[in-house]
Structure 1
Amino acid sequence: MKLDIRRLLTAIDHKGWEAGQAAETPLRRVAITAILANPWAGRYAADLTEGIAASAAIGDVMARAGLEAMGGHPVESYGKGGVVGLNGEQEHANALLTTTFAEPLRLALGGALAWIPSFTKLAAPGATIDVPLAHKDALYVRSHYDGVTVTLPPEAPAPDEVALIIVLANRGRLNARVGGLTPAGIAARDGLR
């Protein structure tokens, strides 16, 4: 199975100020959205492995686009999401967002230990989705619990399409101050601490 990207969208949020405080390091969050034909739209498929395998190529394109949009800023956190058009199932986005899809992103980042938080849903064109972010090497870094709200174009995803999304950020929330593990304190190599 070959998956073709019909449309690739990039959104960049570069924020340097919050609550009256200027940030020494601005927060840059990027969302890359790929609109694809849903290979299973309109029918039930018991076996989704062919699509899972094909998703690696899409993950590679999206990872490269995401790093380019980061504009040289290092990536500290990531997330992924998917919106399936109304002729599909939520499971179709989940199949296309497995580790197979994510491995090119991890490789592009030079390795990342933490699982990638995700959220998927079935929705009409123009839907909005909140894609969660967490630190790429340790899930317990509270300062990096964040998210990016992505609003899809008014015509996507069509009923026979699926939108796949990756989000990246160069740091945690501006003015984060709830304590816990800091990026400098990451010591374990288990993706947690």
Structure 2
Amino acid sequence: MSLMNVRKVKLDLEEVWHEGGARLEEPLLVAVATAIVANPYAGRYEPNLLPFMQALRELGADLSSRLITQLGGLSKVEAYGKGAIVGEDGELEHGAVWHEAGGWAMRETLGDPKAMVPSAKTIGGVGTRLMVPLGHIHASYVRSHYGTCEVTVWDGPRRNEIAFALAMATGGRVHARLGGLRASDIQGHDGLR
């Protein structure tokens, strides 16, 4: 029996045209793909979570591909993040399996960018809102690309489910003007600078 049982997938797409300043010629796009998955370990302690983590890699690859399509192609993606909301009968570690499964899959699909994938996770009930951090895909210190996006599903996660989410964006904050490393100045190959 498969450890991955998806009940539903939700795709969200935001178009941001301005934040009070001049209207952009092309909007910032922020996309989130969230899967509601049955938690095979709900209500019990499982010492070995690695099989579940490995089973979720396929889901991570699928959600990554959907996001790239939503944003208009691989070359458009500049920022990413991931998150998990574990239903009340699970534990935070059940959401942590997404660090490798979702993050690995997203990085592989994007051509192995070097920056860490920012992440958030929590335990919550149906309709829980989670703010997922975003960061530049090639360098963690690109300040303009520090952002957030919302993950929420109106009927999930139920007590025995987990909401696993991946997020991507076509740029940084609209009208970013606080200095720091610019995306055009990235030189390093370690995800830092």
TM over 0.5: yes
1:158 is matched with which residue?
158
1:102 is matched with which residue?
103
Q: Residues 127 and 156 of structure 2 are in contact (CA less than 8 Å); yes or no, is this contact kept in structure 1?
A: yes
Q: Residues 4 and 38 of structure 2 are in contact (CA less than 8 Å); yes or no, is this contact kept in structure 1?
A: yes
2:86 is matched with which residue?
84
Query: What are the within-5 Å matches in structure 2 for residues 1-193 of structure 1?
Result: 1-72=2-73, 74-95=76-97, 97-153=98-154, 155-193=155-193
Q: How far apart in 1 are the matches of 2:114 and 2:3?
A: 29
Q: How far apart in 2 are the matches of 1:104 and 1:46?
A: 24
Q: How far apart in 1 are the matches of 2:56 and 2:96?
A: 11
How many pairs are equivalent? 191
Q: How far apart in 1 are the matches of 2:104 and 2:21?
A: 39
CA deviation map 1:96-151 (0-9, x unaligned): x1223322211221221111010000001011110000000100000000000222
CA deviation map 1:57-92 (0-9, x unaligned): 110111111112113371000000000111101110
Paired amino acid for 2:12: A
- Give the SS at the match of 2:171: coil
Q: How far apart in 2 are the matches of 1:111 and 1:26?
A: 26
- Give the SS at the match of 1:21: coil
Quote the RMSD (CA, aligned, Å). Answer: 1.3
Structure 1 unaligned blocks of 5 or more? none
- Give the SS at the match of 2:106: helix
- Call closer, same or farther: CA 1:183–1:20 in 2, change over 3 Å: closer
Task: Compute the displacement of 1:192 (Å).
Answer: 0.7
Structure 2 unaligned blocks of 5 or more? none
- Call closer, same or farther: CA 1:183–1:84 in 2, change over 3 Å: same
Q: How far apart in 1 are the matches of 2:90 and 2:22?
A: 45
Length-normalised TM-score, structure 2 = 0.94
Q: Between the two proteins, what is the percent identity of the paired residues?
A: 36
Paired amino acid for 2:120: F
Paired amino acid for 1:169: A
